[in-house]
Structure 1
Amino acid sequence: SEREKQEQIEVQKEKQRELILQLKTQLDDLETFAYQEGSYDSLPQSVVMERQRMIINELIKKLDMDLSEDIATLSPEELRQRVDAAIAQIVNPARVKEQLVEQLKTQIRDLEMFISFIQDEVGSSGNAEDGHCECAGRKDGSGSSKPNPRPSGNRVSPEDARKMRETGLHLMRRVLAVLQIFAVSQFGCAAGQVPRSLWQKDQANRDYSPLIRKLELAVERVRQLAVRHQREDHAVGSLDLQDIPLGGRDELTLAVRKELTIALRDLMAHGLYASSQGMSLVLAPIACLIPAFTASPQAMHPWELFVKYYNAKNGQAFVESPARKLSQSFALPVMGGAAVTPKQSLLTAIHTVLAEHDPFKRSADSELKALVCLALNEQRLVSWVNLICKSGALVQSHYQPWSYMANTGFEGALNLLSRLSNLKFHLPVDLAVRQLKNIKDAF
């Protein structure tokens, strides 16, 4: 009957499905065996399809595509349209931002041209007020020249020039304020703000505990050597500097220069970077969009931090003042009997190191070692480093928010360095340039 025929057909279809599944399984097993034996170069088809399925699923999640319907019911064209729409949701905002940036640049160029125009008008009015004008000489028959003054209609009175300047500045401030608000609302950045993504690249370097441990070991070793030298009455200061073996390379000097200074340098360099050059006021509202602000910050040597402090405090003018020069010439107290402050002694020490090492092009490491030796000799290492730590402008401008300096104020390191404050040192300061100076003196 018809029903029996239908049942037989269903049975045949079921057997065919089982046979197809069995053949697929055998084919997969055969491909896997051949691949494992090395006689088949490509991956088995089942593995390839599984990886392709994983990639497609990840793309669907990333593109936020709605494929709740059965894919089999969609035509290839409909699938293509859905993929294009999902990609457009990601790409179009980036293109819009690029167009906005171009528009901002165009407006900035227009502002700069307007400012230049105002400056030119003010300059021309100033020349007219002083009685100067550019005249073209024209000779008559007698050989004398007659000036051809500029038409009076182009001259601007000082009052009009002042009003134009005030109007232009007011307009520029308003436009900059609008640009600032626009940049903050659209791009989430403000003037001079460094994107936080810059600091996310150095996650592995944020742990400063090994640096603290390294400094602690160096301080302890220097302290033990200094105490032993004092007990044995063989301090470096009891010898003439020229008689020190190997140019002052005794065990204590090596420990200070090779271990203590290096450990202090590494800890001060934690999160230290060279701040980028400032930009004009016009470009400030879109600072986060400028390519220079998206590059990785450059590393900075701690010695440069001392030099910046020296320059910020006008160290050269202080050291080379006539009063100090005259006092030094007659071996008189420089400060008129008053106590020398840590700031004054630090500026003098930095000046001394720069004067001795810069002519011979010594490295920043050599200059920092000389400064540390000088600080230990004067028992001012803690106070000098503390001056740098308490300089808010330097810390904010050159230290990342997660740095040891910004987080702790360098308190732990200062406590470690204070263990050396009561010890007396007589370390050579010019060790890196002594031989070069001797060669120079010989010739």
Structure 2
Amino acid sequence: MSAPDGAKDNLLKELENFAFRSIPSVVSTCKIPSNSLESSSNQLQLLISSKGNEVATDEIKNNELLEIHRQRQTALINQLKEQLEELETYAYESGDGVIPSNILLERQRIVMDQLKAQLNFNLDNIDTLSDSELKTSVDNAVRDIINPLKMKSHLVNQLKTQITDLEMFIHFLQDEMLGDQEPCGCKKHEGLEVNRRKRTPSEREEIRAKTVNIMERAMAVLQIAATSQFGCSAMNSQQFQSNVLKGTPKGNHYGDLRARLEISVDHVLETCSQVECITDTDCTSIVSSENPETLIDSPRVTQIVRRELSVAIRDLMQHGMIEYGRNAGKKLVPFLGCATPTSSRYSSTVHPWNVIIRFYDMKGGRDYNSATSRKLSQSFGLNLDANAINPKQSFLSTIGSIISTHKPYKRSSDAQFKAFICAGLNQRKLIPWLKLIVKNQHILEIFYQPWSYVVKTNFDDAFRSIERLSLYGFNLPVDVAVKQFQDMSEAF
């Protein structure tokens, strides 16, 4: 613009020649259509000749030239891009190059779209974010996805660890129980150690206390993790109960249960003194307490024994039992309180019939009743129990008989326990049988708390009350719960 007027024309011509100079191409020569060049040149010549040498004319001319140059550069750039893509594609297909940039960008775009959808990540303002801000945003989005998974995985690992510890604790208790028993010498138990070292009671108590302490600490950590994860706990889900103090050693006294047993015994004696009897001479006189040979066979007495006496003995045996049911599960894994509670009357403690079955299995009751001699005697209608003076043998035989008659019809534990009480009264061996169970140290350690009625009193005062029933002989039906089913089976 500052050149002399005579030199401006020469400079414009040189600029025009430089602008229209072609660029060499590797594949093909880049050529601008001649008609477009000629038309542009004619337009430029007309523009220059029409405007003269004025300053305004020079500015318009320069702007027009720059616009024309931009259009040409854009066309050349697009053509070079196409040629570059063709070269990359050819090299990639020939196996000598990497993936073409256009294909790579397309796949990267697909990956970014999927990550954006899965991470719920906003990329609208990506052009305004700095590098550090962009990294922070990506880290936060990934953390929102990974952290809940890590917490769940950590909780699952803790549960697995606790289950493993419980299994080890159970194996420890089983080994401890086996340590108190001598091998019988049979082929079945010949693999057991004969000279196994026995722990003293103080050592067992110390090991048990340490184990319980470790378990309580682990449960506390698990409860904190579960509460933070699920937002609830067993303490929040349980409602206050009016008899909550009865679950403590000081508040849970057996006085009411003991009085109920005394009342039920009095009721049985009163009813027995009023019912008709069946004797060896088929008499129908009023029962006298001075005649111990009298057999009480009255539906009324049977009803009282099953509904009152059996229930009273059951409740006394249940007093202070260790909880293994729903409530114990909440203490062991507190966040189970979040689930919908399902309650039943005896869901939290072990039924006394289960204790009887445990003692029955400990003494080899199944092997005793499955012996060949007993099977043959049952097949031929022989009674081997007449020679079974030992209370243990009569106990095993009676329990095996109750199981064989009640289990096929899926009778409840309560029904089988009532049958056990009736059978004990019939054979005048209820007290010896109960003594076998409640005075067994292994049973006491597994099932009963130190403050329970069985541990505190050894059931002695209850035995004195039950002993009053020995004034009468009983012939109570043992199969009340299954008789209807047996009659139906015989009918069909």
Higher-Rg structure is: 2
Could you tell me the TM-score, scaled by structure 1's length? 0.47
| Structure ranking higher on relative contact order (CA contacts 8 Å, 6+ apart) | 1
Q: TM-score, normalised by structure 2?
A: 0.43
